[in-house]
Amino acid sequence: MDPLIVSLGPRSYPICFGQSLRTAVRSDVDVALREGRKVAVVTDRRVEECQADLLRAMLGDAPRVALEPGEATKSLDSLGRVLDFMAEHRLDRGSILVAVGGGVIGDLAGFAAAVYLRGIAFWQVPTTLLAMVDSSVGGKTGINLRAGKNLVGSFHQPSRVMIGTEVLETLPPREFAAGMAEVIKCGLLGDAALFEDLERSPVSVRSTGLAAIIRRCCAAKARIVEADEFERAKDGGRALLNLGHTFGHAIEQVTAYRRYLHGEAVAIGLVAAARLSTDLGLITPDEAGRIRAVVAAHGLPVALAEPLPWSELLAAMSRDKKVRAGRLRFVVLEAIGRAVTRDDLDPALVAAAFASVGAALG
């Protein structure tokens, strides 16, 4: 497929697509090395084990650090480890840090690149569906604190994003399903036709149209990012990408990031957001039911595996980075394919939405 350009003036960059990009990545690495630029790699141990041949083909003997997989890696300790790695290999301002992995690695490596020497270039080579359609695009980087998810970070756009779908063939089914939560979100936000396609035929790693769906999601996100790169719009804008995430991030935090993958928590959040939208009179119960059915059809949870205390979920939401002037912001649906942001909601409606997916209100 032709590259997709994220147009951000001097921060513009291409998103390249293919079944295999190992030759293309290696070519770009070789060009950088001939120019005298250093290249270093951040990945995780699972990718290092499962994609050893791919890493070697793309990046040769470039120095790399492999971290533990999982959300717990998005931490100050891991950030320090990556920064020490970069300093040990004497990366300079002309160097390139390559993130090879899922959203955790992309967020962490991107943030390390943003703060090392006050900013060096980095490339995103996503290896999960979720990272391909969402986290690798748009320049949001960061880590978690005990107080909440993504509370420390920076907007730091990659120099390029390289998406090769061959890596998805070895992705565990649960991880693939987690990525589909972000694909479903894309349809709900602004592509009703995509949502209807997912209704008619659930997507799997073997679907012939998967590559086109990935590009479609990247294009949709790119247009939103171009219009509101730093999430400063008073209404709508980049904040719309948080559909299901205010609920989902609270679920992740209360369960200490151990029970649910990010996409699984977002999937439950999408169902809760649909219920909230119904209670606001914006969409019909039938539309909410369609959303729940599509989520379930893609192997994603539609409710909590066990009840979580409303008080803890509310406390987690109150620390969310989307809070403005002490008011929580939610993304709600006016229709399938059209969303808006709201910060004037009755807490009782939010509680009811959480109760609908299994939260304990007592």
CA pair distance 44, 133, nearest whole angstrom: 19
Predicted local distance difference test score (pLDDT) of residue 328: 86
> In the prediction, which pLDDT does 119 show?
98
Q: Are 99 and 109 in contact (CB under 8 A)?
A: yes
Same-domain status, 56 and 185: no
Domain that holds residue 311: 173-355
pLDDT mean over 107-127 = 98
Beta partners for 126? 101
Are 257 and 302 contained in the same domain?
yes
Looking at residue 91, its pLDDT comes to 98
Instruction: Specify whether 182 is located in the same domain as 152.
Output: no
Query: Does a structural domain hold residue 48?
Result: yes
Those residues whose C-beta lies under 8 Å from the C-beta of residue 304, and which sit 6 or more positions away, are 251, 268, 357, 358, 359
Whole-number pLDDT of residue 96: 98
The pLDDT value given to residue 234? 84
Residue 10: is its pLDDT beyond 80? yes
Q: What is the pLDDT of residue 140?
A: 97
Look at 25-29, 88-92, 326-330 and tell me which has the smallest mean pLDDT. Answer: 326-330
Domain end among 121, 136, 170: 170
Is residue 160 domain-shared with residue 201, that is, in the same domain? Answer: no
pLDDT in the model for residue 327: 82
Mean pLDDT, residues 196-214: 95
pLDDT of residue 323: 73
Give the end of a domain, one of 143, 170, 197.
Answer: 170
Task: For residue 250, tell me if it sits in a domain.
Answer: yes
Claim to verify: residue 188 and residue 264 sit in the same structural domain: yes
- CATH assignment at residue 251: 1.20.1090.10
Which is higher by pLDDT, 148 or 194? Answer: 194
Do 118 and 196 lie in one domain? The reply is no
Pair (132, 35) in one structural domain: yes
No. of helices (H) and no. of strands (E), the chain? 14, 11
- pLDDT over 90 at 210, yes or no: yes
Q: Judge whether 259 lies within some domain.
A: yes
Q: What is the number of domains present in the chain?
A: 2
Q: Tell me if 360 is assigned to some domain.
A: no
Residue 183 token pair: 């694909």
Indicate whether 105 and 230 sit together in one domain.
no
Q: Is residue 296 within 8 Å of 348, Cβ to Cβ?
A: no
Sign of the alpha-carbon torsion through 352, 357, 359, 362: positive
Residue 324 has pLDDT above 80, yes or no: no
Statement: residue 92 has pLDDT above 80:
yes
Q: Is residue 113 part of a domain?
A: yes
Per-residue model confidence (pLDDT) at position 340: 96
Averaged pLDDT score across all residues of the chain: 96
CA 162 vs CA 51, 100, 265: distances in Å: 15, 10, 26
Domain membership of residue 72 (yes or no) is yes
Mark whether 240 and 344 lie in a shared domain. Answer: yes
pLDDT band at 235 (very low <50, low <70, confident <90, very high): confident
Residues 20 and 102 in one domain: yes
| Residue 209 confidence (pLDDT) | 92
**pTM, to two decimals:** 0.95
Which residue among 141, 170, 199 closes a domain? 170
Q: 202 and 329 share a domain?
A: yes
State how beta strands 96-101 and 39-44 pair: parallel
Q: For residue 362, is it within any domain?
A: no
Residue 114, domain CATH: 3.40.50.1970
Query: Is 161 found in the same domain as 198?
Result: no
Residue 361 lies in a domain: no
| Whether residue 89 has pLDDT greater than 80 | yes
Q: What is the pLDDT of residue 319?
A: 85
Cα–Cα distance, 249 to 153 (Å, whole number): 16
If you average pLDDT over residues 260-265, what whole number do you get?
A: 97
Q: Please compute the mean of the pLDDT values over residues 47-55 and round it to a whole number.
A: 95
In 3-state terms, the chain is what percent helix, strand and coil (to 5)? 50, 20, 30
- Say how far apart CA 325 and CA 274 lie, in whole Å: 25
